[in-house]
Structure formats: structure tokens, C-alpha cells
């Protein structure tokens, strides 16, 4: 995702070979990762997955979500929900 964000016009970064051993062992082995690539617009074309015209905002959001998900739990910021919100409970 980062390479697409850095150089969206470079077709090399918008193409993934499914036969690539590292891809097959990591991303290609995870159904959720393949679903994310599909949601980003990657489509099968022979042995490759290609995205014709990437939605940069969507790529940025996906990259940030992946970064957040890969952080250790203690590093993640708490979600501020309405229930149990001390500011709301104090009338602020």
C-alpha cells in the first residue's frame, strides 16, 4: 500500500504476482488480506493482481488501519465511547 501511495502512477507498484513466494506465504495465505486487496480495487489478471486506478484516500485509510492493527495492544489508543465517558459524566 505504501508504494502505491508514494508512486500511484508506477504500474510496478500496482501489480502483485500471486506466484511470488513471499506474497503466497504471507498475504496470499490470509483470506482477510485478500479481501482487503479486493476492496482496494485489485483484480485478478492471470498470475497477477492489478489495480488500474487506485483510490488514494482508500489506500491511505487501509494503510493506517493495518498499522493500528499491528501495534501491540498497550500501544493502541483507547476508543472514546459515549458509555463510560468521564467528560460526559461530569457534564463537560
The pTM assigned to this predicted structure is: 0.72
What CATH number did the domain enclosing 16 receive?
A: 1.20.58.2190
47 domain residue, yes or no: yes
Q: Is residue 90 included in any domain, yes or no?
A: no
45 SS3 class: strand
Chain centroid to CA 77: how far? 19
Which SS3 state, helix, strand or coil, does residue 5 take?
helix
Chain centroid, CA 49 distance in Å? 15
19 is a domain residue: yes
How many domains is the chain built from? Answer: 1
Burial class (CB in 10 A: 0-12, 13-18, 19+), 42: buried
pLDDT value for 21: 96
Condensed to tens digits (0 to 9), the pLDDT of residues 21-66 reads 999 999 999 999 999 999 999 999 999 999 999 999 999 999 999 9
Say if 52 falls within a structural domain: yes
88 domain-assigned = no
> What letter does residue 14 receive in the DSSP assignment?
G
Q: Measure the CA–CA gap between 63 and 15, rounded to whole angstroms.
A: 17
In this structure, is residue 26 part of a structural domain? yes
Question: Within a domain: residue 86?
Answer: no
Domain range holding 50? 2-70
Domain assignment present for residue 50? The answer is yes
Amino acid at each position: 500500500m505504501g508504494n502505491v501511495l508514494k508512486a500511484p502512477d508506477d504500474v510496478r507498484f500496482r501489480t502483485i504476482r500471486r506466484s511470488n513466494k513471499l506474497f503466497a506465504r504471507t498475504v496470499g495465505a490470509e483470506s482477510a488480506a485478500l479481501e482487503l486487496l479486493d476492496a482496494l480495487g485489485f483484480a485478478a489478471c492471470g498470475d497477477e493482481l492489478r489495480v488500474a486506478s487506485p483510490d488514494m484516500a482508500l489506500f491511505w485509510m487501509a494503510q493506517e488501519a493495518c498499522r493500528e492493527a499491528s501495534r501491540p495492544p498497550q500501544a493502541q489508543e483507547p476508543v472514546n465511547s459515549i458509555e463510560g465517558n468521564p467528560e460526559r459524566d461530569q457534564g463537560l
